[in-house]
Amino acid sequence: MPIFSRSRFAAALQDFVGKRRMEAGLYHEIAEQIQLPETGRILDVGTGTGWQLEVIHQMRPTLELYGLDLSQHSIRSAERNLKELNVDLRVGSIEKTSYDDETFDIVTCASSMSYWENLIACFNEIHRILKRGGVAILFEPQKGIDIDQAVETIRANMADASKLRQFMAVHLNKFGLRSGNALGLNLYSREEIEDIINRSQFADRTSIETTTLQNLPIFMRIHLEKVE
């Protein structure tokens, strides 16, 4: 992943965007699409600001929370945002982690997979740290999306916000979607992801659906299951 993405500046930008997404209810929308167990351990990969874990905690206060992110600046920000909660936050890549085998009941991930370098190694690592019968759920934008249409939806979503916020949201998203590759973002089609997963230890235990978040029907929800 390019140095930019691990920088203090990227984390500050992520902090700003994360707060807006929290206010807009994105993390609730994601959590509602996940079948959360009543108890056990949950890991959020590429947790960034950590807001996803905060929302999951509101919905299932009995779950033990874990967050992982490649950027130490992001983990610092998650530590600040989640200081009231008991969360195990670690800096590191999902390609090779320090968790024991079969640690987690569920692994979640939103908008991070497109930055991973060796996807098969990452999926195999998720497989290793999941308990038998555990699941991983990933949400990612798909390749080939209509950027202009997506930006118009983002503008419409922000209709009630101040002009400054609208401007920031529209231009940050436009920049992110158009310059993604330069920032290390690799979007995949459903077929490409299916092919990669079929070469991992999750082969045959996968389902991928297109889903809508924040009125944008551009996401895939990837469901991976570790055999009992």
Ligand X SMILES: C[S@@+](CC[C@H](N)C(=O)[O-])C[C@H]1O[C@@H](n2cnc3c(N)ncnc32)[C@H](O)[C@@H]1O
Task: Identify the residue among 69, 105, 125, 140 touching ligand X (CB under 6 A).
Answer: 69
Across 56-90, b (16+ Cβ under 10 Å) vs e yields bbeebeebebbbbbbbebbbbbbeebbeeeebebe
* Angstrom distance (rounded) from CA 222 to CA 201: 15
Task: Identify the residue among 46, 67, 134, 141 touching ligand X (CB under 6 A).
Answer: 46
Interacting residues with ligand X between 94 and 153 (CB under 6 A): 94-95, 110-112, 115-116
Nearest alpha-carbon partner for 45 in 94, 11, 2, 81: 94
193 binds ligand X (CB under 6 A): no
Judged by beta carbon, residue 21 or residue 226, the one nearer ligand X is 21
Q: What's the Cα-to-Cα distance from 215 to each of 25, 28, 77, 111, rounded to whole Å?
A: 12, 14, 27, 16
Judged by beta carbon, residue 7 or residue 133, the one nearer ligand X is 7
* Residue 105: CB minimum distance to ligand X, A: 19
* Angstrom distance (rounded) from CA 172 to CA 185: 15
* Residue 125: CB minimum distance to ligand X, A: 9
71 binds ligand X (CB under 6 A): yes
Binding site for ligand X (CB under 6 A): 1, 5, 14, 18, 45-49, 52, 68-71, 74, 93-95, 110-112, 115-116
